[in-house]
Amino acid sequence: MYICYNKINTSMTEGDYMCKKGVTLIELVIAVAVLGLALIPMLGGLSTYFGRTTTLSGELNYSHRAQNILNDILSEVSYAQMQKLLEDNGAPVVNVADVKQRDSVDIKDLTTILKRDGTALCPLTTVPLGTDTPNGEWQLDAAKGTFFEYKGKKYYFTMRLTNIPLQFHWQEYTLNNARNTVTGKSIVTKGVPGTPDVQTIDKNGNKRDMFMKIELFIDWQEYNKQFKYSFVTFKANLEDAND
């Protein structure tokens, strides 16, 4: 739209005008509305970006915590303590002969796991719900698991323990009467699926397997979806069984 007005100039005759481009209020309102519509997806993208940044920070947090738990279990928690966890959560006191009967045990309360020095692997925190759980401290939900809270999200940890039998397979040779010629050979398998060949005996006289599979599961909810992740390691009874 053009707005015309008189130009004050003595050299101009009456009726001369100077016209210049201008905008009306309606055009201004339309322009602002169009600009606002353009900003909506931009603001949505920024919101998603900052939300994703928070998510990545939470994932980095649970990853570090999971690694610390497993590292401490391998180096700071005795094998006997892990055996006790199996018993306290329903595993047979004496390992059964059939490997198939060695069911895995799921543990939700990780605050009961003790290190060799008697301190808790996952100590409970004193901060109230709704605030970030300090690093190295934990909250407990008996139904869902041991968790920490970060930026309004709760990351739940549960642990699964499974005994793994140590078994030997070897090749057996048959010799002739003079014992100078091999006349046959066969693969000898012991303890499959029966009693494993190698076990330790703890201070209570119970036979124990030599290896344990340790799985750590983490789950949390965001964007109206349930997310899960897991870590796994193996602990060997290389120490004294009475430890």
Residue 62: per-residue pLDDT: 87
pLDDT at 60: 80
Global pTM?
A: 0.64
pLDDT digit of tens for each residue in the chain (243 aa)?
544 445 455 554 545 545 555 556 676 667 666 665 555 555 555 455 444 555 566 578 888 999 999 999 999 998 888 888 887 887 765 554 444 445 688 999 999 999 999 999 999 999 998 899 999 999 999 999 999 998 888 999 999 998 876 665 667 778 788 777 777 777 666 555 544 456 666 666 666 667 888 999 999 888 788 888 899 999 887 665 444
Three-class SS string for the chain? CEEEECCCCCCCCCCCCEEEECCCHHHHHHHHHHHHHHHHHHHHHHHHHHHHHHHHHHHHHHHHHHHHHHHHHHHCCCHHHHHHHHHHCCCCCCCCCCHHHCCCEEECCHHHCECCCCCECCCECCCCCCCCCCCCCEEEECCCEEEEEECCEEEEEEEEEEEECECCEEEEEEECCCCCCEEEEEEEECCCCCCCCECEECCCCCEECCEEEEEEEEEEEECCEEEEEEEEEEEECCCCCCC
